[in-house]
Amino acid sequence: MKLSKWSDLDDQAVAVTRALAMDAVQKAGNGHPGTAMALAPVAYTLFQRIMKHNPAEPNWIARDRFILSSGHSSLTLYLQLYLSGYGLELEDLKKFRTYNSLTPGHPEYGHTVGVETTTGPLGQGVANAVGMAMAARYERGLLDPNLTTNIFDHNIWVICSDGDLQEGVSAEASSLAGTQGLGNLVVIYDDNRISIEGDTHIAFTEDVSARYKAYGWEVMEVATKKNGDVDRNKVEEVLLKAAKLTDKPVLIRLKSVIAWPAPNAKGTAKSHGAALGEPEITATKQLLGLDPNLTFNVPTEVINHARKVKERGAELFKDWSTKFELWKKSNPVQAQLLSRLQNQELPQAWSKDLPTFDSSADLATRTASGKVMQSIAAALPEFWGGSADLKDSNNTTIEGGRSFLPANSKMANAYEFGRIIHFGVREHAMGAILNGIALHGLARPFSGTYLVFSDYMRGAVRLASLMKLPVTFIWTHDSIGVGEDGCTHQPVEHLAGLRAVPGLDVIRPADANEVVVCWKEIIERRKPVGLILSRQNVPVIDRTKYLPAAGAAKGAYVVAHGSESSKECDVILLATGSEVSIALQARLILAGENIKARVVSLPSFEWFTEQPVQYQEEVLPKSVKARVSVEAGVAQPWYKLIGDCGVPVSLEHYGASASPATLFKEYGFTPENIVVAAKESIKKASE
């Protein structure tokens, strides 16, 4: 890479950037100026001289990605987006951390152009970057499996903090990145030894370089200059060196002094997360050679110089476009696939080969899901994922997909573009990596583990929902039906907790055919989903006797009316998952006592809430006050549906180690107990 000579205008731009960081936080009254000040020359060098990007084409498929994992230092990113001409202007910097601004306290994906992922919860950005680097390799396999061109090559650049590397999620992801030999990933670790509580050595004294070498990363170290400033020349040297490595990820351990060159605030915990104050800002601007009486002052020659990066980006994009057009002509099939993926389209009749299941034998919904996934994988090459060391238990493998591992891997069945990701026992990193894969832009990722371990993934699940990413979290072993593994593995509060996450569709199908319907909806809706599946076999509902499973697409539907001849009913039995078949048995007992019970399968609260009010009324008529909810978990989310007269059949305590049949009987998930609850609800409704 040939670079122009560093100039006085570049020095001025860095100085102005440091001043803007101080001004923006001072005006807001709060924020994190210190890191943005210290790392100004690093971020400027990346955006102006190293990264392949084009501000006029922010979604360019071949662009380098930049992730600010230390999202609290959002100004580090915003200031470069401003200087580079991504659409942020001085007015946006003046509105830093204010309502409806383009410069919120932490970077938000989909809100500000140039922000590749939402960061703030520390460690997530590092793990997202691992996902992006993995996605870049997988997508390369989709588009250029014979490695005939370099037009899809690009790097993932990360700036992270001490806090990021203290979080377990970054350790999980970094370990996997080493195994995967992700040579397109470079993490710049800002080793300033400062966090909110002060010197990080009160809690963080490990040899980070040794740890990352042990992970299989290349580690490069850059000391500060004698005056405490970042050694920008050395930084540029190692960035260029890192960009040339292709067989392993790189950690650049960068020593810095937070808030440099503020005379009193530099190197202090206060500068991490608070405005410096006018006297300190004045003194710092004087040290930078700037007019201390001016705020948000950017000389015309400085902004004009910085925005020349747009010219560099346009030239890079032009050269790339010429090669891209030649590639399209030589690779029409792959070009058509790329166009479809970029437009978020599905092939025509993609779902025609989805299976159907007869009622001759019981089947666990995890098993049914595994069969459905084979059909999806055959139709959609972008469908890709794995599990946290549980693929055969979760049924989350793709038959014949081969293991996603680097080209130099000695493992059996390894293939650098394989469709089966082995995440290892790393649930949190798995979730965050999935987010990174989705953010990269083309693939439809999935992952699997037990529902009880969704707790370990919660931070990543929340961010997937916040960013509205099309990721599918498959969580099996969904209840006390886990059986003998006992209370540690039996989820009780998890369904309620996950349903509380805004933007997450929680799906718990009743049988194999509902699984098919729900998977089709998941693929077509393109939203964050938690798919909840049973370990134990459950009856495949006989649809010659009961209503079609297609109703599951609406989130809730009537499986059986009150009687064969009438839709009227005395009580409504609402259930999800394996408990639907038990509710159907209870209906038959009630019918023998001349009590008409409607059974409603409710695989998704979220999908049902989206339906027109008229449909909701058809399924759950307000006139029927007697209602029973049946679900092997806490009843908390059900009260809004069953009302004052409703009676929940639920589990308000932890389970035990015993067979599923024993536990369902002991804890009241029996047709007989549902009948008792139905009669109680009818009595309450009549009073």
Half-sphere exposure of 18 (CA within 13 A, CB side): 33
Instruction: Place 563 in a pLDDT band, splitting at 50, 70 and 90.
Output: confident
- Choose the catalytic residue: 236, 280, 427, 606: 427
Section 407-414 average pLDDT: 96
Instruction: Place 582 in a pLDDT band, splitting at 50, 70 and 90.
Output: very high
Give yes or no for residue 456 having a pLDDT over 80: yes
Identify the H or E element spanning 366.
helix 365-379
**β-strand 627-630 against 647-649: which pairing, if any?**
parallel
State residue 17's pLDDT score.
98
CB atoms within 10 A of CB 325: 11
State residue 565's pLDDT score.
79
pLDDT digits (tens, 9 = 90+) for 305-340: 999 999 999 999 999 999 999 999 999 999 999 999
CB-based contact 507:531 (threshold 8 Å): yes
Backbone angles phi, psi at 438, to 5 degrees: -65, -40
Identify the three-state secondary structure at position 156: strand
Section 390-402 average pLDDT: 96
State residue 564's pLDDT score.
82
User: What beta strand segments (E) does 249-405 contain?
Assistant: 250-255, 383-387, 403-404
Q: Is 8 exposed, middle or buried (0-12, 13-18, 19+ CB in 10 A)?
A: exposed
What does the CA dihedral 260, 261, 263, 264 come to, rounded to 10 degrees? -20
Provide, rounded to the nearest whole percent, the portion of the chain with pLDDT above 90: 99
Read off the amino acid at residue 320.
W
Give yes or no for residue 588 having a pLDDT over 80: yes
Q: Is 237 a catalytic residue?
A: no
- In this structure, the chain runs to a length of 687
Task: In whole angstroms, give the CA distance from residue 423 to residue 449.
Answer: 10
State residue 2's pLDDT score.
76
Residue-averaged pLDDT of the chain: 97
Give yes or no for residue 567 having a pLDDT over 70: yes
CB-based contact 253:219 (threshold 8 Å): yes
Task: In whole angstroms, give the CA distance from residue 493 to residue 484.
Answer: 19
Instruction: Place 617 in a pLDDT band, splitting at 50, 70 and 90.
Output: very high
Task: In whole angstroms, give the CA distance from residue 194 to residue 200.
Answer: 5
State residue 1's pLDDT score.
63
Section 553-558 average pLDDT: 98
Section 418-435 average pLDDT: 98
Span of 66-75, 163-172, 545-554, 559-568 with lowest mean pLDDT: 559-568
Section 389-395 average pLDDT: 96
First to last CA, the chain: 82
**β-strand 194-195 against 198-199: which pairing, if any?**
antiparallel
CB-based contact 541:362 (threshold 8 Å): no
Q: Annotate 614-672 with DSSP letters as a single string.
A: HHHHHHS-TT---EEEE-SS--GGGHHHHTTT-EEE---S---SS-HHHHHHHTT-SHH
Q: Annotate 482-514 with DSSP letters as a single string.
A: GGGG-GGG--SSHHHHHHTSTTPEEE--SSHHH
pLDDT digits (tens, 9 = 90+) for 257-284: 999 999 999 999 999 999 999 999 999 9
Identify the three-state secondary structure at position 250: strand
Identify the three-state secondary structure at position 414: strand
Section 518-539 average pLDDT: 98
Q: Domains of the chain by range and CATH?
A: 12-314 (3.40.50.970), 365-532 (3.40.50.970), 552-686 (3.40.50.920)
